[in-house]
Structure 1
Amino acid sequence: MMVPAEKTSFGVYLHWPFCAAKCPYCDFNSHVRHQPVDEAAFLEAFRRELAHFAELAPGRTVTSIFFGGGTPSLMRPATVEGLLEAVAARWPVAGDAEITLEANPSSVEAERFRGYRAAGVNRVSLGVQALHDAALKALGRMHDRAQALQAVELARATFPRLSFDLIYARPGQTLDAWRGELSEALGFAADHLSLYQLTIESGTPFAALHRAGKLIVPAPDEAADFYAATQEMTAGAGLPAYEISNHARPGCESRHNLTYWRHGEFVGAGPGAHGRLATAKGRLATAAESHPERWLERVAEKGHGLVEEGLLTLEEEADEMLVMGLRLAEGIDIDRYQALVGRPLQRSRIADLVEHGMVRHDAGTGRLVATPAGLAVLDAVVADLAA
């Protein structure tokens, strides 16, 4: 059992919103610019926004830093170093802090990776997404299989810790084909894998194709078979699921993401970033302007790019804790839930969900854990518990 870190963890998320191209399935806050990005201007804006967050959350020790995007590996190593220095100028950073940078294989260069490592990055997360050229092309990726494998090898040689992403239940993909692809991926000696079922997000090109009947994804029953096979194979290889889509060797879980899922504190800096901070008045939710240049202007004008900054109600906090915590294999601590939100979960609802095989209640640890059946309908489980 992993040791909960919610009382001591404090993460800093830095959003670099630029990509070389927009993938047709992606609804993240990412933007393509055909002119060079003024990295110096964005670095200075990050410095100013981090100063604002330091006033909101003084006296913390940073346990994890995560460069997300977009494509952070498009940044020069000097910019990454400057951002890490900006964080360290505002808060002490733990000596064993996890510092992750997301990278796309198409933007990986040996010299750049060495620069990130020298700057302090100790974990890289590669957006591989598929191990077949036809699938990569269909997903709109700019790399091919050979580049992906080269990036994995380079990351293993450069960083102490490696994670990479794959997408399954893709159009036309068979279960046997996925088993073969995952088996190959498990042989790459990564200590962490993020394995996502392809979902059709509104507003994306894939959504338009899906509506037009030109993109067919596996039916729910088929997708469930993909998920079950994924759990079985990763567990058998020593990388069990510790969250719905994330798998790791024991001790190699993403500490930064665990801060999210365990209802911890985190700063969200950069265009479109979200944060959650504990204050004397309650849990503060923050959200920044998503458009990069407008964020830049807002920071210049106000000292931060926030467009939302307000306290969550107890109901909102309770829902967040349930939604995030029940994604984890460890579940949630029922007593901690009651202490945080000021009211207990209804025992009758827990009993009903246990009876229907949706959750299990571990009386020894006092934790509530979603079963595989419950994870498949997690939104409904959360709604029932929160009602």
Structure 2
Amino acid sequence: MLNASPLLLPDTGEPGFGVYIHWPFCAAKCPYCDFNSHVRHHQVDQERFATAFLREMGRMRQLSGPRTVTSVFVGGGTPSLMQPETIGAILEGIAACWHVPDGIEITMEANPSSVEATRFHGYRAAGVNRVSLGVQALNDKDLKFLGRLHDVADALKAIRLARDIFPRMSFDLIYARPGQTIDAWDRELREAISYAVDHLSLYQLTIEEGTPFYGLHKAGKLPMLDEEQAAQLYEATQAITASEGLPAYEVSNHARPGAESRHNLTYWRYGDYAGIGPGAHGRLTRGRDKLATATERHPERWLEAVETHGHGMVTEDLLGYEEQADELLLMGLRLREGVDLARWQQLSGRDPDPAREQVLLDHGFIERLGNSRLRCTPAGMLILDAVVADLAC
């Protein structure tokens, strides 16, 4: 059992080394979701899967070498379908492979429909000190539209339990839903903030290929808000959260100072992370190169591969300096703190193109923070992909 101290180590600002565990199973597939999640109408052999996680973990330890873990994130899927004993075995395995200091952030995703007080207490005892709840909406009509198995009463119960049991808690909401107005979103968002939260993840609804929503939208049966309406909702989101003391520290993530997700900061600061489980991705530094890993997405095929070969990896690609520089830019410009220019210059071997940078500066899409960092302005965040593409050229 890992140390369950509520005291969290301070954020050093360094990229860090995270461990991501992917639990691929859900009770139902949401119509908007394109994540690697799978529904099984039979009982999943959790002990067998836990053993496989530990085997693949050993392979990742060989690739990473000795490291100090700065965060753990158990995502999915629906990790709260796991028994606490399964979580406990996985966390113990991480501690056996790498150095895990007391006080690091250990997050687990949970759905309100699968929340039980006894299970939450079990996760806490196993070492989880932060939970991220997939609430998605605070009205029953939209929860039904989004295919969620819980209602608002379930969501509020889960929020109360999480607040009572875990030192830190976050929950997700999806906005820019069909027909949603700024006034309605204002009321819903302020209600969400009122539940004593210190972190919110707020995502615009997008139509992803291969999802049921994609088919409905393509057939003209799911009208979405236009770009201008979505942009207005985004701008309202930034204003409301800032006024309530939860400013955006990343495009879709808002927190009171000190409550930012340490694990997600590792991604956005372009740190290293070991990705373990079906469909998990990782980035592991090898000298000046970075190894990009990806595993088999299908849970049972991944399980068979691990039991046969010791891992389920299907990709182990070495990224060169230019590829790393592009990824650093893509991830870092999502953050309010921006990109470390010296690190980008070291990887890319060049300065940002002066003419391209000046155009973006003149239009108010980016700004310099002294000579050391570059970041997007609020206006630039609205066209983030275009800004990244311009700077990466």
TM-score w.r.t. the length of structure 2 is 0.96
Tell me if 1:362 matches 2:369: yes
| Alignment size in residue pairs | 383
Is 1:226 aligned to 2:221, yes or no? no
Corresponding letter in the other structure for 1:15: H
* 1:367 partner letter: R
CA contact (8 A) 1:244 1:375 kept: yes
Post-superposition Cα deviations, 1:56-93, rounded to whole Å, max 9, x if no partner, equal 11120011000000000000000000000010010110
**Equivalent in the alignment of 2:286:** 279
The answer to whether the Cα contact below 8 Å between 1:106 and 1:142 also exists between their aligned partners in 2 is yes
Percent of aligned pairs sharing the same letter: 63
In 2: Cα distance, 1:59 partner to 1:51 partner: 11
In 1, Cα distance between the equivalents of 2:335 and 2:130?
A: 21
CA deviation after TM superposition for structure 1 residue 281, in Å:
5.2
What is the one-letter code of the residue matched to 2:70?
A: T
Indicate whether 1:90 and 2:97 are aligned: yes
- Trace 1:281-360 onto structure 2 (pairs within 5 A): 282-360=289-367
Conserved? CA contact 1:10–1:265, under 8 Å: yes
Contact 1:74 1:107 in 2 (8 A): yes
1:50 aligns with 2:60: no
2-structure distance, mates of 1:208, 1:316: 34
- Give the counterpart of 2:175 among 146, 159, 168: 168
Show the counterpart of 1:35: 42
Unpaired stretches in structure 2, ≥5 consecutive residues: 1-10
Paired with 2:99 and 2:12, the residues of 1 have a C-alpha distance of 22
Match of 2:264 in 1: 257
Q: Spell out the pairing of 1:201-220 with structure 2 (5 A cutoff).
A: 201-220=208-227
- Equivalent positions of 1:137-148 (< 5 A) are 137-148=144-155
Structure 1 residue 372: deviation in Å?
Answer: 1.6
Aligned-pair distance for 1:378? 1.1
Q: Distance in 2 between matches of 1:141 and 1:288?
A: 28
Distance in 2, matches of 1:296 and 1:281, equals 32
CA distance in 2, matches of 1:362, 1:101: 34
- TM-score normalized by the length of structure 1: 0.97
1:127-172 superposed Cα distances (whole Å, 9 cap, x missing partner): 0000000000000000000000000000000000000000001012
> Is 1:375 the equivalent of 2:381?
yes
Deviations 1:18-64 (CA, angstroms, capped at 9, x unpaired):
00000000000000000000001100100100000111111200110
1:343 Cα deviation from its structure 2 partner: 2.5
**TM-superposed deviation, 1:3:** 4.9
CA-CA distance at 1:341 after TM superposition: 3.0
Say which SS state the counterpart of residue 343 (structure 1) adopts: coil
> Helix, strand or coil: the match of 1:62?
coil
Aligned to 1:384: 390
Residue 109 of structure 1, CA deviation: 0.2
- Confirm or deny: 8 A CA contact 1:288 1:295 kept in the other structure: yes
Preserved contact between residue 322 and residue 347 of structure 2 (Cα < 8 Å): no
- Contact between 1:101 and 1:125, CA under 8 Å: does it hold in 2? yes
Q: Are 1:18 and 1:70, in contact at CA under 8 Å, matched by a contact in 2? A: yes
Deviation, 1:258, is 0.3
Over residues 220-240 of structure 1, what are the superposed CA-to-partner deviations in whole Å (9 max), with x where a residue is unaligned?
111111111110111111110
User: Contact 1:63/1:96 (CA < 8 Å) preserved in 2?
Assistant: no
State the distance in 2 between where 1:271 and 1:293 align: 9
Whether the 8 Å contact between 2:283 and 2:290 is mirrored in structure 1 is: yes
